[in-house]
Amino acid sequence: MTPELYSSLSLALPELIIAGGALVLLMIGVYSGERANSTVTGLAVAILIGAGAWMLLFGGTGKAFGNVFVSDPFAVFMKVLMLIGSAVTLVMSVGFAKAEKFDKFEYPVLILLSTVGMMLMISANDMITLYLGLELQSLALYVVAAINRDSVRSTEAGLKYFVLGALSSGMLLYGISLVYGYTGHTGFDAIAATLSGADRQLGLVFGLVFVLAGVAFKISAVPFHMWTPDVYEGAPTPVTAFFASAPKMAAMALMVRITMTAFEPIAADWQQIVVFISIASMVLGSFAAIGQKNIKRLMAYSSIGHVGFALVGLAANTETGVRGVAIYMLIYLVMTLGTFAFILAMRRKDGNVEQISDLAGLSTTNPMMATILTILMFSLAGIPPLAGFWAKWYVFLAAINANLYALAIIGVLASVVGAYYYLRIIKIMWFDEPVGGFLPMAGELRLVLGASGAFVLFYVFFGGPVGRVAEAAAKTFF
Amino acid sequence: MLNGLEAAFFYLFAFIAVASAFMVISARNPVHSVLYLILTFFNAAGLFLLTGAEFLAMILLVVYVGAVAVLFLFVVMMLDVDFAELKSGALQYAPIGALVGLILAAELIVVTGGYAFAPQLATAVAKPTPDIATRTNTAALGDILYTDYIFYFQVAGLILLVAMIGAIVLTLRHKEGVKRQSISAQVARTPETGMEIKKVETGKGI
Amino acid sequence: MYQAIVFLPLLGFLIVGLFGTSLGAKASEYITSGFLVIAAILSWVAFFQVGFGESEVFTVPVLRFIDSGSLQADWALRIDTLTVVMLVVVNTVSALVHIYSIGYMHHDPHRPRFFAYLSLFTFAMLMLVTADNLVQMFFGWEGVGLASYLLIGFWYKKPSANAAAIKAFVVNRVGDFGFILGIFGVFVLFGSVSFDAIFATAASYAPVEGAHEATAAVFNFLGYELDRGAALTVICLLLFMGAMGKSAQVPLHTWLPDAMEGPTPVSALIHAATMVTAGVFMLARLSPIFELSHTALTVVTFIGALTAFFAATVGLVQNDIKRVIAYSTCSQLGYMFVALGMGFYSAAIFHLFTHAFFKALLFLGSGSVIHAVSDEQDMRKMGGLRKLIPTTYWMMVIGTLALTGVGIPATIIGTAGFFSKDAIIEGSFVGHNPAAGFAFIALVIAAVFTSFYSWRLIFMTFHGKPRATADVMHHVHESPPVMLVPLFILAVGALFAGVIFHDAFIGEGYSEFWKAALYILPENHILHDFHGVPVWVKLAPFAAMILGFGVAYQFYIRSPETPKYLASQHRGLYAFLLNKWYFDELYDFLFVRPAKRLGTFLWKTGDGAVIDGLGPDGISARVVDVTNRVVKLQTGYLYHYAFVMLIGVAALVTWMMLGSTF
């Protein structure tokens, strides 16, 4: 017992660091009052970085707590992405918090606890771990969505997210119970072992549908996406940035893990489901975004579309496919963080603005911001040689190799339609009459935006090594 | 498999649980809804009892009926919400909802009816709880809760913590100008700090 | 040194083109002109080193350019006598034009742009003449085309200038199409585009009689199987098509007169001295190929003679001072092509060389006149300017003397044109090709016309009574020194270039001067034969010159009524000439209007209705429809959202169930 517990604890040390850190920060926050926000945020970022560094330097691989928790290269890869997402969004929230009276020390604490939940999701090797991690994550997200409690939009966003999230949790649980009923196990490995020996049972497939529906809600894939635009628009912008980055990484990792381990023997079934939600997400994400006027809402549809593209790689059910998903999520993360750094910097004297029309003529009023956002938009649209192109390239390549031609063709067409609204932003920035510039960017936002732009622009030069790391991560399942 | 009296009670509890759950969402009066919810909890507790999980049955009653549901009841009674109006929009879509629900239900019945559960499930259920004579329910739970399931237990604890923080963040408001009781200050009072003795000269007020 | 010659203009272009507005006009002028003067001086040094030194043909490598399979084209400077002659011509005229422009463009607000274009043009022209292979030559070829387009349309606010620029570009495109097909053909036939490789293999294509490998088909053109000789002819004709476009030969000449819409220094540089001679240079450069195709040379002779005659006739009646000179240029280019067609490459290049001086002189002189009379170009509104602008007058006279070829036959006293033009006329008499006889007659008649219209220009502009308004006459003034000094230098060239260099170019010094730069077949004796023509042939150009002068004097000095009378008597002929043989109208009818009709059809019906309607516009309209519907789904009501989720799950479940049963 003791040696097992010891090795288990050492495998889960990053999670423990963050959970313990969250408790400490909570105490610090409670006892030093309202002014502690920036201190707590700084410490939270330090904790996240520390946990990530520990994981990269000393993190081992293996299974823990009686096979319910797993640490492998794929988990490490996705956790690093997720930690980057959490840390960067926390950093970006500092300026906003000061300006918008949003300086609650609970925010970083909740982000940390949510991060723990997400790490558990990524490392889940059992349905119960999956569910607990998901709930820990979601519950914190419901709260942060509504954290600006004096704003009607924010509370409405939180409430909507909560109710729909509860519905999806119900579905997930129902699916888990069906799967348990048909296999007698909750562990992923045991489920896979049972399934590979048995005939395909329709009841189990139903369970699969419900489980995937529950996870698809978290990655906001169509038709479980409906909450996304409202919540993205209503939540405070740093929260939206967080929603669009870290939880997407975790939920996508979870999606990959349950399909690649637990349900691997019935790949033919889940592939159909993934193809369906992938196509639906790509198409809806592309079409619905066209009509948007609010840039946060636009980013919501953009994220729906991008999730659809990433799922293309998963649908292939191959090593290249999983590698494609990993690379896609990495590039998506960087582009999203950069774009939200920009959105956070859309400040005038009388506060933050969110309308796309506010960007008009930015190229004359603030050329540097406009240039970087243009690069990001081109990348999001998938214009070579920017990173966004390579992301799409890898997933479509996997789909073609797996003979999923229809999926790849629909994906390419959807990306053409999707390019329209990214290009429209560029057009508004460069060719419309200026409506007045923004206040100077805060240093941390400048840093994030610049780094993101540089990554996207120069990805073509270091894409090879990144691809090899992603490949090592993908090898976990093959 | 269940049979005899046990089976009869199982189906009774199960039926009432499902029926009252349906009433929770269909009752017009919100207070009635909460009452039906309590009834559901009771039946669930009954089901627990049937499997020998007495501790869980009691906890369910104490926590859910005694605390949660009653709290709900207070909240519902205190808030003047016109649920009928809220529902009117949703009712418009009731036919579609019913259709979708029917389809789902039909499919599930067809599928679950025609297929066998995993055979090993029977063995998994075969050792639900240790005999009450050898080990009490509470002790048996404790045996595994802090050993095999320590991980889940701690994560569940974190979830509750989040719920607590969330509740405070979203609802607690510090009101200015509220006089609060400070027990330490009260206890620390001495006659010197609490009293001031003044000599009052006759013929003059203070 | 050669790098400096070629790249100084590029440097000037880059500096002034990129930073011109911040540098200011003055600095821009000095930078570009300074670089060009240095390049010109270096060119003369190179000219004497290569032309009169011992060095053989050599190349100066610059960069690797294209290396794709067997297609290799490096960027290198090929230096031989032909190149250095062109370097001298291009850089000298360009430097003088740069300097002249400082005065001429004085009032223009966009001088940095103008000077940047001039330098760009010069660089492109240098690329062309130093090319080591056909691809590089084509690069320069297109570069000068571009610069020409930009400079003709320099005053882009004038619709006529824009139209002229587009016309020049489009007409050149026809020629370039032939040129590039010719390059493809050369690559197919010789397996290389490098001159050295082409010339080395070309010898094996010589029309050796009886060798039966010569009849084997090597080339398929438009479905015809061509043997070696025919293939060579086809290629030569295609290449010549390029030359016709660039050098304004009939029937691709129409752009040149219109190109006079550009500033006058541009006309002097591009449309008289350098770019239009690119075709002549190309044929001379490719002499080892052309020399092998008798048919192609006959065609070249015929086209050249036709152009010389045609342009001279049109020049007789034009009233725009620049157009007269433009037609004169066209005609003189025809002379050069006749020489090329005869295999008399050296004479063609010699005429190119001398022509550059006196034609640039005439153009810059006419620019000076236009400058003096407040931008008036119509000669009917001039007259009597001799007293007012005497320096310009004498410079124009010198140019005219050189153009008409004044000199004393059988001596070495004469202007530049006397040596070069007469050599061509004499060469055409002894030439051995079917078109030679026609060419000789055409050239002599053209010489009469040349003399007539040249003197007509002088008489109408400078003699007689002033026909301009008093106001204009009042403002007439001599040009500033910055414009006159280039005229003096060119005048020196126009007077003495023939005397000094005729021996090297076409006389005794031929082989020491040219070395291996030009190739002529061993049986081609024209170089020797043209000295031995009968006396009447030698006297013919002289007589033609005298005759033309006499008629012009009679018409415009002694009885100015005669031309009007003649014009009214022969109304049809006059209109025919005045309208340039109705070439523009013919092209308009044959090509422009059908093309416009087709274009309109494809635009309105093909593109607008069919492609846009079903394609982009249709699709985007459908996309907007879909978007509106999708956005409507997002109502904001929670139960809608929940419904969507439930319906999604139900659909998936149903699908999985049905999918498994069927």
C262-278: per-residue pLDDT in tens?
Answer: 888 888 888 888 888 88
Bigger pLDDT: A98 vs A317: A317
Quick one: pLDDT band at residue C572, thresholds 50, 70, 90? confident
Residue in this structure with the two tokens 């408790």, named with its chain if needed: A23
Bigger pLDDT: A154 vs C581: A154
| pLDDT at residue C215 tops 60 | no
Please give the interface size between A and B, counted as residue pairs whose CB atoms are below 8 Å apart.
87
| pLDDT at residue C658 tops 60 | yes
- HSE, CB side, 13 Å, CA atoms: give it for residue C310: 21
| pLDDT at residue C480 tops 90 | no
Q: Which of B148, B165, B172, B173 to mutate to test the interface with A (most CBs of A within 10 A)?
A: B165
Which of C627, C644, C660 lies at the smallest CB-CB distance from A226?
A: C644
Buried-state track A201-227, b at ≥16 Cβ within 10 A, e below 16: bbbbbbbbbbbbbbbbbbbbbbbbbbb
The answer to whether the Cβ–Cβ distance between A227 and C656 falls below 8 Å is no
The answer to whether the Cβ–Cβ distance between C649 and A417 falls below 8 Å is no
Q: Which chain A positions have a beta carbon within 8 Å of B163's beta carbon?
A: 139
Minimal C-alpha gap between B173 and chain C (Å): 28
Q: Which chain C positions have a beta carbon within 8 Å of A292's beta carbon?
A: 631
Instruction: Report the distance separating Cα A139 and Cα A158, nearest Å.
Output: 10
Quick one: pLDDT band at residue A247, thresholds 50, 70, 90? very high
Q: Is residue C340 part of a domain?
A: no
Chain A contact present for B124, CB below 8 A: yes
Instruction: Report the distance separating Cα A238 and Cα A341, nearest Å.
Output: 9
Q: ipTM above 0.85?
A: yes
Three-point CA angle A253, A258, A263, nearest 5°: 150
> What is the per-residue pLDDT across C354-406, written as a single tens digit (0 to 9) for each?
988 888 999 899 888 888 887 788 888 887 888 888 888 899 899 998 888 88
Minimal C-alpha gap between C627 and chain B (Å): 24
* C658: nearest CA partner in chain A: A202
Mean pLDDT of C94-109: 88
Residue in this structure with the two tokens 């000449």, named with its chain if needed: C253
The token pair that represents C70 in the structure block: 């067997």
Which of B112, B124, B163 lies at the smallest CB-CB distance from A139?
A: B163
Longest Cα–Cα distance in chain C:
111
| pLDDT at residue B104 tops 50 | yes
Q: Is residue C202 part of a domain?
A: no
> What is the per-residue pLDDT across C133-163, written as a single tens digit (0 to 9) for each?
888 899 999 998 998 898 888 888 888 888 8
- What does the DSSP 8-state code read for residue A406? H
Mean pLDDT of C282-307: 89
pLDDT of residue C74: 82
Chain C contact present for A230, CB below 8 A: yes
By three-state DSSP, how is residue A9 classified?
Answer: helix
Which of A65, A143, A184 lies at the smallest CB-CB distance from B169?
A: A143
> What is the per-residue pLDDT across C179-195, written as a single tens digit (0 to 9) for each?
999 998 888 888 888 88
Bigger pLDDT: B6 vs A333: A333
Bigger pLDDT: B26 vs A276: A276
Residue in this structure with the two tokens 């541009």, named with its chain if needed: C266
Minimal C-alpha gap between B64 and chain C (Å): 26
The token pair that represents A229 in the structure block: 């635009």
pLDDT of residue C208: 52
Weakest-pLDDT range from A12-26, A28-42, A315-329 = A28-42
The answer to whether the Cβ–Cβ distance between A184 and B118 falls below 8 Å is yes
Bigger pLDDT: A204 vs A79: A79
Weakest-pLDDT range from A113-122, A468-477, B86-95, C446-455 = B86-95
pLDDT of residue C211: 46
Q: Looking at chain C, which subunits does it touch, using at least 3 CB pairs closer than 8 Å as the criterion?
A: A, B
pTM score of the predicted model:
0.65
Instruction: Report the distance separating Cα C239 and Cα C247, nearest Å.
Output: 12
Chain C contact present for B94, CB below 8 A: no
**Count of other CB atoms within 10 angstroms of residue C325:** 29
Minimal C-alpha gap between C654 and chain A (Å): 9
Q: Which chain A positions have a beta carbon within 8 Å of B158's beta carbon?
A: 19, 113, 116-117, 136
Minimal C-alpha gap between A175 and chain C (Å): 11
Which of C637, C643, C650 lies at the smallest CB-CB distance from B104?
A: C650
The token pair that represents B182 in the structure block: 């400070």
| pLDDT at residue C552 tops 80 | yes
Residues in chain A, total = 478
Please give the interface size between A and C, counted as residue pairs whose CB atoms are below 8 Å apart.
75
Bigger pLDDT: C352 vs C514: C352
| pLDDT at residue A264 tops 50 | yes
Burial of residue A252, with CB atoms counted within 10 A of its CB: 0-12 exposed, 13-18 middle, 19 or more buried: buried
Which CATH architecture describes the domain B1-84?
Up-down Bundle (1.20)
By three-state DSSP, how is residue C73 classified?
Answer: strand
Nearest CA-CA partner of A109 in A14, A34, A44, A17: A44
Most confident of A109-118, A463-472, C168-177: A109-118
| pLDDT at residue C413 tops 80 | no
Please give the interface size between B and C, counted as residue pairs whose CB atoms are below 8 Å apart.
26
pLDDT of residue C410: 67
Scanning B49-88 for CB atoms below 8 A from C yields none
Q: Which chain C positions have a beta carbon within 8 Å of A202's beta carbon?
A: 656-657, 660
Q: Which chain A positions have a beta carbon within 8 Å of C618's beta carbon?
A: none
The answer to whether the Cβ–Cβ distance between A167 and C656 falls below 8 Å is no
Q: Which chain A positions have a beta carbon within 8 Å of C656's beta carbon?
A: 202, 205-206, 209, 269, 272-273
Q: Identify whether the C-beta of residue A208 lies closer than 8 Å to the C-beta of residue A273.
A: yes
The answer to whether the Cβ–Cβ distance between C638 and A160 falls below 8 Å is yes
The answer to whether the Cβ–Cβ distance between B170 and A143 falls below 8 Å is yes
pLDDT of residue C592: 82
Bridge partners (DSSP) of residue B59 are none
By three-state DSSP, how is residue B156 classified?
Answer: helix
Which of B112, B120, B162 lies at the smallest CB-CB distance from A110?
A: B162
Chain C contact present for A223, CB below 8 A: yes
pLDDT of residue C68: 77
As a whole-number percent, the residues of chain B with pLDDT over 70 amount to: 85
Bigger pLDDT: C215 vs C46: C46
Minimal C-alpha gap between C641 and chain B (Å): 11
| pLDDT at residue A1 tops 50 | no
- In chain B, what are the domain boundaries? 1-84, 130-170
Which residues touch C410 (CB under 8 Å, ≥6 apart)?
A: C538
The number of domains in chain C is 2
pLDDT of residue B2: 60
Q: Identify whether the C-beta of residue C328 lies closer than 8 Å to the C-beta of residue C463.
A: no
> What is the per-residue pLDDT across B118-153, written as a single tens digit (0 to 9) for each?
566 555 554 566 777 788 888 888 888 888 888 999
The answer to whether the Cβ–Cβ distance between B156 and A203 falls below 8 Å is no
CA C114 distance to own-chain centroid: 19
The answer to whether the Cβ–Cβ distance between A143 and B165 falls below 8 Å is yes
Mean pLDDT of A57-72: 89
Residue C626 backbone dihedrals phi, psi, to 5 degrees: -60, -45
pLDDT of residue C535: 81
Most confident of A355-364, B37-46, C74-83, C536-545: B37-46
pLDDT of residue B87: 65
Using DSSP bridges, classify how beta strands A62-64 and A69-71 pair: parallel, antiparallel or unpaired: antiparallel
Residue C594 structural domain: 579-614
pLDDT of residue B126: 46
Q: Which chain A positions have a beta carbon within 8 Å of B165's beta carbon?
A: 26, 106, 109-110, 113, 143
Chain B contact present for A68, CB below 8 A: yes
Mean pLDDT of B34-47: 93
Q: Looking at chain B, which subunits does it touch, using at least 3 CB pairs closer than 8 Å as the criterion?
A: A, C
pLDDT of residue C206: 63
Instruction: Report the distance separating Cα C383 and Cα C457, nearest Å.
Output: 10
* B147: nearest CA partner in chain A: A1
By three-state DSSP, how is residue C408 classified?
Answer: coil
Which of B115, B124, B156 lies at the smallest CB-CB distance from A132?
A: B156
Cα torsion through C508, C509, C512, C513, rounded to 10 = -140
> What is the per-residue pLDDT across A333-388, written as a single tens digit (0 to 9) for each?
999 999 999 999 988 888 888 899 888 888 888 889 999 999 999 999 999 889 99
Burial of residue C533, with CB atoms counted within 10 A of its CB: 0-12 exposed, 13-18 middle, 19 or more buried: middle
Instruction: Report the distance separating Cα C652 and Cα C647, nearest Å.
Output: 8
Which of B124, B156, B158 lies at the smallest CB-CB distance from A19?
A: B158
The token pair that represents C629 in the structure block: 């519907």
Instruction: Report the distance separating Cα A273 and Cα A271, nearest Å.
Output: 5
| Mean per-residue pLDDT over chain C, rounded | 84
Q: Is residue C183 part of a domain?
A: no
Which of A116, A149, A183 lies at the smallest CB-CB distance from B170?
A: A149
Quick one: pLDDT band at residue A405, thresholds 50, 70, 90? very high
Residues in chain C, total = 662
Instruction: Report the distance separating Cα A106 and Cα A114, nearest Å.
Output: 12
* C657: nearest CA partner in chain B: B107
pLDDT of residue C609: 81
Instruction: Report the distance separating Cα C301 and Cα C287, nearest Å.
Output: 14
The answer to whether the Cβ–Cβ distance between B100 and C646 falls below 8 Å is yes
Q: Is residue C605 part of a domain?
A: yes
pLDDT of residue C210: 47
Q: Which chain B positions have a beta carbon within 8 Å of C647's beta carbon?
A: 100
Instruction: Report the distance separating Cα C277 and Cα C599, nearest Å.
Output: 34
The answer to whether the Cβ–Cβ distance between C657 and B100 falls below 8 Å is no
pLDDT of residue C662: 44
Chain C contact present for A384, CB below 8 A: no
Nearest CA-CA partner of C144 in C124, C116, C130: C124
Q: Identify whether the C-beta of residue C56 lies closer than 8 Å to the C-beta of residue C145.
A: no
| pLDDT at residue B86 tops 70 | no
Instruction: Report the distance separating Cα C15 and Cα C11, nearest Å.
Output: 6
Q: Which chain A positions have a beta carbon within 8 Å of B157's beta carbon?
A: none
CA C9 distance to own-chain centroid: 19
pLDDT of residue A232: 92
